[in-house]
Amino acid sequence: MLRACVIGWPVEHSRSPIIHGYWLARYGIDGAYEKEAVAPEALAEFLATLWRRGYVGANVTLPHKEAALRAARSADEAAMTIGAANTLWLDPDGALHASNTDAYGFMTNLNAEAPQWKEGLGAVMVLGAGGAARAILFGLIEAGATKVLLANRTRSRAETLAAEFGPRVEVVDWEKRSEALSACGLLVNTTSLGMTGQAPLTIDLSALPANAVVADIVYNPLETPLLAAARARGLAAVDGLGMLLHQAVPGFERWFGVRPEVTPELKAHVVATLGAQ
């Protein structure tokens, strides 16, 4: 039996077991996907003994994404540029390989849900400068975005990110986020604002062109106040759950040998668990 897990601290909130468990059943695979609560001081030992614990690979969630990258023998370009890993597998020689599939997940979902984001290739506005913003900047630049405006409450974090990603990324004051939208064909929220229990994101969308796309990485609730405001203006709105589902695809394929499909049924299955925690 093939076994994989998600490693976090805490790990209870992770929805990865629901996604991978659905696919294991759907494809009739003799496999298992488990939750492993691992404290930061125990991570290195856990990863060094992954195989002996019976695992072919793992997902990694907070707070282990950076440490998992450091613990791996090799890493793909996405993980190295983003500076964090979310997917691990053992190479045939037993060495740990780190990947980051967040950018893949975001871009695959965006291209599926709103392929028009690329038309005209206006500027893109990214809100936030944490780990999620880093993954999304990598994905957008790799996909050909030539100008990304980056706004974050703490300006210095946005400046650090912009310096890493080069001249395509330009920092905009957090207070100027609404007016700067007039040049943008795509707005992406990577902050935690709008999540259940958090304040909504305050932004005036009226400057956005009529064909612009608004994407949120928050998926609980599925329809954030930002996405509701976008839809009310007739703009295309892309929710954060699609990114979560698509980022799981490469790991599942590596561990279990089947490339799984993201379907409306899977989405409905995961939506039914939202709000339960």
Q: Is 176 a catalytic residue?
A: no
Per annotation, catalytic residue among 35, 65, 118, 147:
65
Residue nearest ligand ATR, Cβ-based: 130
**Least distance in angstroms from the C-beta of 217 to ligand ATR:** 8
Q: Examine residue 131 and tell whether it contacts ligand ATR (CB under 6 A).
A: yes
- Asked if 146 is part of the footprint of ligand ATR (rule: CB under 6 A), the reply reads no
Under the binding rule (CB under 6 A), the answer on residue 154 touching ligand ATR is yes
Residue 117 CA, chain-centre distance (Å), reads: 18
- Among 132, 215, 241, 262, indicate the residue that binds ligand ATR (CB under 6 A): 132
What residues does 238 pair with on adjacent strands? 215
Considering only 19-27, 48-56, 72-80, 126-134, which stretch makes contact with ligand ATR by CB under 6 A? 126-134
Question: Is the Cβ–Cβ distance between 84 and 221 less than 8 Å?
Answer: no
Establish if 49 lies at the interface with ligand ATR (CB under 6 A): no
Phi, psi of 5 (to 5 degrees): -150, 170
Q: Least distance in Å: CB of 153 to ligand ATR?
A: 3
How far apart CA 184 and CA 68 sit, in angstroms, is: 35
- Is 152 a binding residue for ligand ATR by CB under 6 A? The answer is yes
Q: Residue 14 interacts with ligand ATR (CB under 6 A)?
A: no
5 binds ligand ATR (CB under 6 A): no
Instruction: Determine the interface stretch with ligand ATR among 74-82, 111-119, 150-158, 262-270 (rule: CB under 6 A).
Output: 150-158
Between CA 257 and CA 146 the distance in angstroms is: 36
Mark the segment that binds ligand ATR (CB under 6 A) among 31-39, 42-50, 189-197, 206-214. 189-197
Residue 130 within binding range of ligand ATR, rule CB under 6 A: yes
d(CA 42, CA 53): 14
CB of 65 to ligand ATR, least distance (A): 8
Q: Quick one: which of 100, 108, 191, 247 contacts ligand ATR (CB under 6 A)?
A: 191
Active-site residue list: 65
Contact positions vs ligand ATR (CB under 6 A): 128-133, 152-154, 157, 190-193, 199
